Amino acid sequence: MSFDEIVQQCRDLNELLPAQALEQARQSRPGLEGFAVFPVYAPVEIIHAAGLLPVGLFGVGGKLEIVHADARFQSFICSIAKSALELFLRDEMSGFRGAVFSSICDVARNLASLVKRNAPQMFIEYLHLPQNMLNERSHEYTRAELDRFRANLARHVGRPIPDESLATSLKLYNRVRRRLRELYAFRREHPGSITAAELCTVVQAGSRMMPEDYAPLLERLLKLASQRPAHPRDSVDVVIEGAFCEQPPVLLIETIEAAGCQVRDDDLLIGWRWFREDVPVNGDALSSLATAYLTRSEYSSVRHDGASPRTDGLLQRVRSAGAQAVIFTPAKFCEPALFDYVPFIAKLDKHGIPHLKLEFEEKMWTFEASRTEIETFAESMLFE
Amino acid sequence: MTTSTTATSGKHVPLPVREYRAGVHDQSRDIMTAWMGQLKDATRGSTPSAYLMISGNCVEILRCFDILPVFPEINALQLAIRKKSLPYILKAEEIGYASDNCAYVKADVGFTLSGGVGPEGNIPVPSLIVCNFVGCNVYIKWFEHCAAMFNAPLVMLDIPFIREDRPSPEDVRYVMAQLDELIRRCEALTGRKFDIDRLREICRYSARAEAGWSRCKELCKHRPAPFDAYFDSINMMGPINALRGTKEAADFFDTAVAEYEQMVAEGRGVLPEERFRIVTEGPPPYPYYRNFRNLFETWGAVAVQSTYSTVGGTWEFGFRHDPDRPLESIAEQMLVHNLCNRTMTDRYAQIRRYVDEWHADALVIHSIKSCRLFSAGQGDMREYFTRELGVPTLMLESDLEDPRYYAEAQMKNRIDAFFESLQYKRIRECAART
Ligand code: SF4
Ligand code: SF4
């Protein structure tokens, strides 16, 4: 299969609703059950080690009309919360054993409660991921939180989740994350080789595939990528920031590149590429995951890191990508992204790095206005 | 006095707008003003001060070191109630805050940028920023921004959300270790050793105030209720959340209890006539506090309980700080015994108890755009109470800080229509009985 064909396959997979994606996975793994993962980060290793397919819950795009969730969530709530709830209210999650949410924001927290109440047959877990990376008890706490999830999930599926299975899953996801890092590095080093839309399509497909299948797919892609002719363009090199939870429509990502920018790095689907380095696999897998969460996580708007503020993280990302500007793509009404925008731009302004903000929501169909904004932004930089 | 109008007469005769003047109100104002005076003095002096949030806070620890607690939420609230918030909100929006960000943060940031904090303002520059992350994720952002604005050290107190029946031993140890970290930072700041006996003393005052506050709320089970547990609670929320652990706050609640007990003994209610008993959910619209209150009072509607009054603590269900286990009880308060650190469905259960035990006729949900901690998903709450429990529920929308989201005419229409229908329902029920 060619690079383009693989990407097309990923695109087709992403077009499916979660239950349909699970159905597709069942073709080669009959009887496989799913477990939904609400962004940003979740320990997918535990879900996989329980024999389930972890499936990223990124909303439904335009694929499902929101009829019920609008009455539960007000107009000022982000689309992803509404469409995630809609899936459960409409009983569109058949084949799923449950879902995991975490302490990313006030909306996600309340959403977890609502899903639990409205889908009583599902096992709904809410993880309080640590916000204090530096306390002497942070590790003990984090490990215990992961273990609590393991115990609850094992109880729910009615079989143990042994250490050996966890270690196997950890190795697999390490391999996946390593390949994703390589793919990102490849794009950074070979501008024009992979478009941003292609890359996020591939990453998202990984949130609905078993890692056993996904890792080889990435390896094939990496090989094919190096044979692909790059098309560097006369454009502004940018980093995309603020898209860590609800994902911008692929059309918006395409518009950014079509309108004069070239994406060199981004935080799209960052939860699925969460660790900067491999998680050590020797010893206790949950302990390693806990250590990695505290010390090897990517910077993120949903994680307070006293030792290294995310404003430094963004600056670092811009520099190592060789980017000239930042495009912020917060989901409409997304508080963590909209709050962080303020210190982020203060930092960028201090270092003379231009930036542009483009908000989006699920029911956006046309991007003409965004296109004009990006063009104006890019032109102002190119002809400066 | 109003002409007596029973709910069964069918015609709505509005009650007159009251001028609330009672001992509780005055004494609350006095002790809060004294505290604000201390804040003002500290802007020019050398008293150490620390920023802290309201929900499930650990003010006792700061007090133990004589570190002056500063609550940016109270600052934002006061700006709103004095109708001064909008220019500050706009100022914050100028530097990049979005119209969809919590306006409490924006008003406070705008105020700070305008010189409100520091030698020329009313609030001291904090020596320490204590981020008690108890439920609200916005707290983290807010205090990260404050730490950057003041270049002040930030202590993160990450309080695990309640996600099982009770906190796990690891949750508790994590919180205790962070409290210990805070104590060490306070020691370094003040050059003083931690004195646990002093903390016991402070917790004793806290417990006394908590007992008083609970008793006041308990008295609202009486008909008529001696105060409005939503609108008048604000007089008690300052003392219980910000001044807790002081003798003044403990004494204040003694006065409040005495006053309300007397009212109950005399059969006096807060309104000339109590026609409807409601439970309210969500914070009030501070920029239009009085207007909003009057829309209910004219119907003789009294809040007999409110969830907003429990953001700091749910003391009415029995929790007290414990002088014998001061730090452990502070941790328990932060983890378990406040509204913010509990799930939405726990809140449904809390409201349900309020409706049953406080004998309420209806639930009023005030949905706040700024505060998603409260509001996200309140449509589901309405669904639960109306459809599943049959509790008449009214949902209103505006904001607690930003005056641009308050539409008086629309509010009035909805409130009037709701109470009219409640009144009509009563008439029908009455007729059915006779
Ligand atoms: S998009 Fe933002 S506000 Fe919405 S759930 Fe995700 S992090 Fe929370
Ligand atoms: S979101 Fe709500 S609880 Fe949080 S700071 Fe704003 S008003 Fe306070």
| Nearest-by-CA chain B residue for A131 | B158
- H helices then E strands: how many in chain A? 15, 8
B371 Cβ inside 6 Å of ligand 2: yes
Ligand closest in space to the Cα of B136: 2
Rounded Cα distance between B289 and B300, Å, is: 17
| pLDDT above 90 (res B23) | no
> Which residues, 6 or more positions from B262, have their beta carbon under 8 angstroms from its beta carbon?
none
Residue B21: what pLDDT?
Answer: 56
pLDDT, mean over chain B: 95
Q: Which residue has the tokens 């990407």?
A: A7
- Cβ neighbours of A130 in B, within 8 Å: 158, 174
Report domain A30-162's class. Answer: alpha beta
Residues of chain A with pLDDT under 50: none
Q: Which of A360, A341, A365 shows the shortest CA–CA distance to A78? A: A360
Specify the pLDDT at position B4. Answer: 39
Q: In this structure, are residues B63 and B245 in contact, taking their beta carbons and an 8 Å threshold?
A: yes
Across the interface, whether the CB atoms of A338 and B138 are under 8 A apart is answered no
User: Choosing among B100, B150, B182, which should be mutated to test the A contact, i.e. which has the most A CBs within 10 A?
Assistant: B100
The full set of domain ranges for chain A reads 30-162
pTM: 0.96
- Answer whether residue B62 shows pLDDT above 90: yes
pLDDT tier for residue B45 given thresholds of 50, 70 and 90: confident
* B7 pLDDT above the threshold of 50: no
Over range B294-300, report the average pLDDT: 97
Q: Which ligand is nearest to the CA of A335?
A: 1
Evaluate if residue B1 carries a pLDDT over 80.
no
Of residues A76, A130, A140, nearest to B158 (C-beta): A130
B104 vs A contacts (CB less than 8 Å): none
Q: How close is the Cα of A1 to the center of ligand 2, in Å?
A: 52
Q: What pLDDT is stored for residue A62 in this prediction?
A: 78
- Taking domain B41-197, whether its CATH number is 3.40.50.11890 is answered by yes
Q: In this structure, what are the phi and psi dihedrals at residue A4, rounded to the nearest 5 degrees?
A: -60, -35
Q: Measured between beta carbons, which residues in chain A are less than 8 angstroms from residue B375?
A: 74, 76
Q: What is the pLDDT of residue A239?
A: 98
Cα–Cα distances in Å, from A56 out to A113, A206, A269, B132? 18, 9, 9, 31
Smallest Cβ distance to A106: which of B136, B156, B345? Answer: B136
Q: Do A341 and B383 touch (CB under 8 A)?
A: no
**Position B432 pLDDT exceeds 60:** yes
Tens digit of each residue's pLDDT (9 = 90 or more) over B212-221: 999 999 999 9
pLDDT over 60 at B424, yes or no? yes
Q: In whole angstroms, what is the distance from residue B300 CA to residue B307 CA?
A: 20
Q: How many Cβ atoms are within 10 Å of B328's Cβ, its own excluded?
A: 15
Residue spans of the domains in chain B: they are 41-197
The verdict on a CB contact (< 8 Å) between A132 and B157 is yes
Give which of A66, A85, A113 to mutate to test B binding, by max B Cβ within 10 Å.
Answer: A113
- Residue B2: the pLDDT is 35
pLDDT, residue A295, reads: 97
C-alpha torsion angle, residues B82, B84, B89, B95 (rounded to 10)? -140
Residue A53 is predicted with a pLDDT of: 98
- The secondary structure of B136-202 as a DSSP string is -THHHHHHHHHHHHHT--EEEEE-----SSS--HHHHHHHHHHHHHHHHHHHHHH-----HHHHHHH
Query: What's the token pair of residue B15?
Result: 């009650």
User: Of all residues in chain B, what percent carry a pLDDT higher than 90?
Assistant: 93
Tell me the C-alpha to C-alpha distance, in Å, between residue B148 and each of A201, B62, B124: 37, 22, 16
The pLDDT tens digits for B148-163 are 999 999 999 999 999 9
The pLDDT confidence band at residue B10, using thresholds 50, 70 and 90, is low
Q: Is B31 in the pocket of ligand 2 (CB under 6 A)?
A: no
Among A244, A48, A36, residue whose Cα is nearest residue A126:
A36
Q: Which of residues 298-357 of A touch B (CB under 8 A)?
A: 302, 304, 306, 309, 330, 332-333, 335-336, 338-343, 345-346
What number is the average pLDDT over the span B372-385? 98
What separation in Å is there between the alpha carbon of A246 and the centre of ligand 1? 6
Across the interface, whether the CB atoms of B376 and A141 are under 8 A apart is answered no
pLDDT tier, B11 (very low <50, low <70, confident <90, very high otherwise): low
ipTM of this complex: 0.97
Q: Which of B156, B168, B384 sits opposite A131 (nearest CB)?
A: B156
pLDDT score recorded for residue B5: 41
Query: Which chain B residues are Cβ-neighbours of A105 within 8 angstroms?
Result: 137, 372
Q: Is the CB of A270 under 6 A from ligand 1?
A: no
The yes-or-no verdict on residue B13 having pLDDT over 80 is no
Of the candidates B334, B407, B341, B338, the one whose C-alpha atom is nearest the C-alpha of residue B369 is: B407
